[in-house]
Amino acid sequence: MQLVSNESDGATCKFQPQEIARAQTQHEEHLNDLVRHPMLPFQLANLTSIFPIESQEDNFEHHSMIINVGEDVEEKIMSYFREAPHSGIILSARGSLSRVTLNLNSRRITYEGMYNILSLKGGYQLANAKDELKETHYMNIILRTVDGTRTLGGPVAGSLIAATNVQVTLLRFKSR
């Protein structure tokens, strides 16, 4: 559960099987919880005051997805938003990652090990700028080692590889 590489030195490290088993057990316990966060109705009510939505049911779509072990979480989320390009936000994520690339002090740094997702937030927007569609998106993540000894986070700058199944909750706003 160390720094793997920072694009210049290529250092590597491996994680232990017991760390994988511990993370998988913790994740399975989380998946038995409710799919929807108990605060979701409150969050949606607040969003409608920020985003002018005429009819809530017709203008946004709540979606939960399970991203399988070994898949890229960032890629799957962006793929979902691009299916029907509109604005969208990441409400929550649960699970563990084995490889994470962050942008820290303008440097792409990759970590490898077993990291539990504490928070994954972000947004996506496809905007029309001067008759040209422009895509903008961001993701910020906070992680903790499965033994709880280290916390790290920052802007996502590359892949987020799932070590366990990762459950992500998204909200996609439809165009008017």
pLDDT band at 10 (very low <50, low <70, confident <90, very high): very low
Q: Does this model's pTM top 0.85?
A: no
Note the helical H segments in the chain.
17-31, 40-50, 56-59, 73-83
Range 146-155 average pLDDT:
93
Residue percentage of the chain with pLDDT more than 70: 64
Q: Report in angstroms the alpha-carbon separations of 151 from 1, 2, 22, 109.
A: 11, 11, 17, 15
Range in 2-6, 60-64, 168-172 the model is least confident about = 2-6
pLDDT of 17 > 90? The answer is no
**Distance in Å from the first CA to the final CA of the chain:** 46
Range from 6-10, 36-40, 83-87, 123-127 carrying the lowest mean pLDDT: 6-10
pLDDT digits (tens, 9 = 90+) for 63-93: 899 999 999 999 999 888 888 767 889 999 9
What the chain holds in terms of domains, given with CATH numbers, is 15-47+63-173 (3.30.1330.80)
26 with 94: CB under 8 angstroms? no
